[in-house]
Every structure is written in C-alpha cells, then in structure tokens.
Amino acid sequence: MTMIRTTRVRLGILPMAVLAVLAAGCGTHRPGNDAGADGPSRAPTATPSRPVDFRCPGESATPAAPTTAVTSVPAAPPTDHYAENHGFMVPFPLHGERRCEGLAAVGRVQRALEPLRERGDFDPESTRSALTGLGYAVGKVRSYQDGPTGVGFLIDAFPLCVEGTMDRKSTQADAFGGYPDHPGCDRPSGGH
C-alpha cells in the first residue's frame, strides 16, 4: 500500500512542476532589456481598406449622393455611447457589384410606383401589388400606411434590401445590405 501512495504523490508533483515551468516562462526578454528596440517586436498587420466602388451601368460620371444607406461618423467618440449602443440599427451600405444591383433595384421600384403616385393611389395593397409585379415574393414585400397621404414599403430580398416611401411629392427608395447581428432586412428592435 505504501507504494500506491508514493506513486500518487509523484503523479501529483509532475503537473505542478510543469505548471511552475510554464508560469516562470522560457523567454529571454527581461524587464529593462532593450531587445527589439531597433525595430518592431511584431510583424505589421494589414489595415482594412475601404471597399472600392465603381460606376454602375446607367450611373452618371459625376459622383452624386449615394443612394445606399450611409451614416456619418462623428469626429470624436460620443460621451454617452448612444451611437455605440445603437449601431445595430445602422444598415450596411452596399459596395461593388452589390451596389450596382441595389441601384438597379431602386430604379425598378421607383418606375413601378411612379404611376401610383401620379394618380394619388397610396393604398398599401396597391403598392404591394406593384412591387410583387416586379418579381418579389409576396411574403418578402411589406407595405404600410405612412401618414394620411403616403405609403412606406420594405422589400426583403436579403442580402439586398430596398426600403422607401411614396407620397404626393415623390417616391424615395434606398438599397442596403441588412443590419449587423441580424438576418433579414427589417430594422432590429434590440441590440446584442
């Protein structure tokens, strides 16, 4: 029986010895040592680049205000963290080929809704019918009354989303790529 106890003690010492060696470290850098002072101690990391947008078919050569959802970034961080806490509600802008698809979808939507606007038809059901006539699935098109003489709509063709309003003055639509931490095109009501 004594041998079993001795073996158990020896087996318990081994993990503690390994842990002590790991805790002590095995590097050669000591506080005050200027090793690596001549250059960076780590390999430089690549900084993320901004996506490149190109001119889409039918787009003018002069840059115009983008039709995709864009938010401005404050110069200084907010002290109340409002922007940080509500970032989940800021839609993703579209870039590259997806941006061109979004511009084309916005154009089709505006052309389909313009006859309704001209005759003053701001019924959500008429709007939904016009948008589903473009080939969007009935379950993916939502329309709703937006004031006494207006209608709002959302087309969920994720990852491409088209949202807008139509009233007596104009038909407005924007394309975007969904929201952070949230699948689909509807605006999230709660963050992470």
pTM of the model: 0.62
What is the average pLDDT value for the chain, to the nearest integer?
76
Share of the chain above pLDDT 90, in %: 39
Comparing 28-32, 143-147, 180-184, the range with the smallest average pLDDT is: 28-32
Average of per-residue pLDDT across 167-182: 91
Residue 55 in any domain: the answer is no
Q: What local confidence, expressed as pLDDT, does residue 86 receive?
A: 67
The answer to whether residues 88 and 181 touch, using CB atoms and an 8 Å cutoff, is yes
* Residue 137 confidence (pLDDT) above 90: yes
Residue 83 lies in a domain: no
Regarding predicted confidence, which is higher, 125 or 45? 125
Per the domain annotation, does 32 fall within a domain?
A: no
170 lies in some domain: yes
In a domain, 131, yes or no: yes
Residue 129 placed within a domain: yes
Q: Residue 162: which domain range? A: 89-176
Average pLDDT over residues 109-124: 96
Based on the structure, what is the number of domains in the chain? 1
Considering the domain boundaries, does residue 97 fall inside one? yes
